[in-house]
Amino acid sequence: MAKRVAKYFHKTFARRYALPKCNFIPKDYMGPSYQKTDKIKAENIPPAVFNIYKKPLVIHQGHMQWLFDHDGRRYLDLFGGIVTVSVGHCHPKVSAALHEQIDTLWHTTNIYRHPKIYDYVEKLAAKFPGDLKVVYLVNSGTEANDLAMILAKAYTGNNDIISLQRGYHGYSSTIMGLTATQSYRMPLPVPSGMHHAMLPDPFSGIWGGCRDSISQVPNSCNCPGDCITSDKYVHQLSELLDNSVPAGRLAAFFAESIQGVNGAVQFPKGYIKKAYELIKKHGGLYVADEIQTGFGRTGDSFWGFQDHGVQPDIVTLAKGIGNGFPLAAVVTTKEIAAAHNKSYFNTFGGNPMAAAVGKAVLEVIEEEELQQNCKETGKYFLEQLMELQKIHPVIGDVRGKGLMIGLELVEPGTKQALNMADSTVIQEMIKDLGVLTGYGGRWCNVLRIKPPMCINKNDVDCAISVLDQVFDFYKKNK
């Protein structure tokens, strides 16, 4: 298929779908040549740090939902720096807040008090329900989940932790045990007491199920309340608890509200709530990983866990919290924080620049009603993707909420994952037509669509046109 793709581009590149208008003019590129970046990549960058495309992009500048390469070519960004750019690349208000802070105070660490951290944590804590009011500021999702694990073990006095298969919670010698995705697991020992429960996946799971989305798996059940399959998946969790976890020794259950790296996998309706109840009976805490689903991205709620009708004990945040600036957080209760009775220090956590950016991001989400935009534009996006699914058999599943969307590619007529070679070519074609998506899932066959939350329906129409062209070519040339 790859040879045909080259021929396709030769004939059709000039017919590329016109991107929506954008008046922004990028600066001239002054960096190293493309060839020089190849050389530096080969000699100075670890091989494990890979490029997403066969012909990598050199990204030069960003503006809201747009990215520009070294040649000045514009791309519609539907991946947002891996679900990190929440309010838009170089959003003017966020940029202004950072510039003002840079000219005032860069860094002191929290051995001193500086006003920005207090302004920020008060505003962030106000976004949480109940007694989730204590905020630890850190720098990354991995750090946040590592700290959440420490808090859970300190509070419960227990050691065992459960997460879901194919979940991603970070990459460190500790958190690697929590991450149940083989491509991120080195053949090295991880801390004891890590367990992975069966993934309740309505598309590929053994019992199927229906989910909280306008798009359902073809021929799935359509339960008016909790999905009937949720009890079966929770029973598997119960079996894990009864057979693999020492009695009374459970510390916590970690779950993403919607799995991100695994390709926007949603669980059957009711699963998280029932799993939560089971975990509490066994004395464990529920840690909601909101690193990709938080800050209004799912549309209906500000936090993904609210869509499941539960109140976590600990919540971890990162990515969109800083719109691309290094910032992350752990939010918990005073009672749980009190069990963390040793001194805690994080050199850069809550630094003045990060706090200024975080506060500005929250203000932009409110002022520009981006949660509502996620709900409305996300619904429109899902509806258009569902229409594509009807005419392109390579689309096995369309799923998600708000602007947290996954498109699972399959061998036409089956649920078998599309082979990686074809999935890679499809994504390359989408890129060369001016649209950037991510990929995920166990077999890298899911197009991940998690754009800056400022995109609009014209952008959606552009993306749908590009996807339609690519899938049509695939169908005719497979």
> What amino acid occupies position 70?
H
Are 243 and 360 in the same domain? Answer: yes
Are 363 and 374 in the same domain? Answer: no
- Does residue 442 sit within a domain? yes
Question: What pLDDT, on the 0 to 100 scale, is given for residue 14?
Answer: 38
Question: What pLDDT, on the 0 to 100 scale, is given for residue 478?
Answer: 79
- Does residue 431 sit within a domain? yes
Are 138 and 231 in the same domain? Answer: yes
- Final residue of a structural domain among 328, 343, 367: 367
Question: What pLDDT, on the 0 to 100 scale, is given for residue 13?
Answer: 46
DSSP state of 207: T
Question: What pLDDT, on the 0 to 100 scale, is given for residue 188?
Answer: 87
> How far is Cα 234 from Cα 207, in angstroms, rounded to an integer?
12
Question: What pLDDT, on the 0 to 100 scale, is given for residue 447?
Answer: 98
The number of distinct structural domains making up the chain is 2
- Does residue 89 sit within a domain? no
Are 275 and 133 in the same domain? Answer: yes
Are 281 and 184 in the same domain? Answer: yes
CATH of the domain at 243: 3.40.640.10
Are 342 and 449 in the same domain? Answer: no
Would you list the DSSP string of 317-381? E-GGGGTTSS-EEEEE-HHHHHT--S----SSTT-HHHHHHHHHHHHHHHHTTHHHHHHHHHHHH
Phi and psi at 288, nearest 5°, equal -90, 115
Are 36 and 100 in the same domain? Answer: no
Question: What pLDDT, on the 0 to 100 scale, is given for residue 335?
Answer: 98
Strand order in the sheet with 438-440: 395-401, 404-409, 446-449, 438-440
Are 338 and 354 in the same domain? Answer: yes
CB 303 within 8 A of CB 290: yes
> How far is Cα 280 from Cα 293, in angstroms, rounded to an integer?
23
pTM: 0.95
> Cα–Cα–Cα angle for 96, 142, 236, nearest 5°?
130
Are 361 and 389 in the same domain? Answer: no
> How far is Cα 294 from Cα 315, in angstroms, rounded to an integer?
10
Q: Please list, in sequence order, all residues whose beta carbon lies within 8 angstroms of the beta carbon of residue 88, skipping any fewer than 6 positions away.
A: 63, 64, 65, 323, 452, 453, 454
**Domain containing 205: what range?**
94-367
- Does residue 88 sit within a domain? no
Low-confidence ranges of the chain (pLDDT < 50): 6, 9-10, 13-15
Are 53 and 102 in the same domain? Answer: no
- Does residue 85 sit within a domain? no
Q: CA separation (Å) from 323 to 42, 93, 139, 362, 444? A: 30, 12, 13, 10, 25
- Does residue 68 sit within a domain? yes
- Final residue of a structural domain among 333, 349, 367: 367
CATH of the domain at 383: 3.90.1150.10
- Final residue of a structural domain among 336, 367, 398: 367
DSSP state of 307: G
Are 123 and 223 in the same domain? Answer: yes
- Does residue 176 sit within a domain? yes
Are 61 and 98 in the same domain? Answer: no
Question: What pLDDT, on the 0 to 100 scale, is given for residue 17?
Answer: 60
- Does residue 86 sit within a domain? no
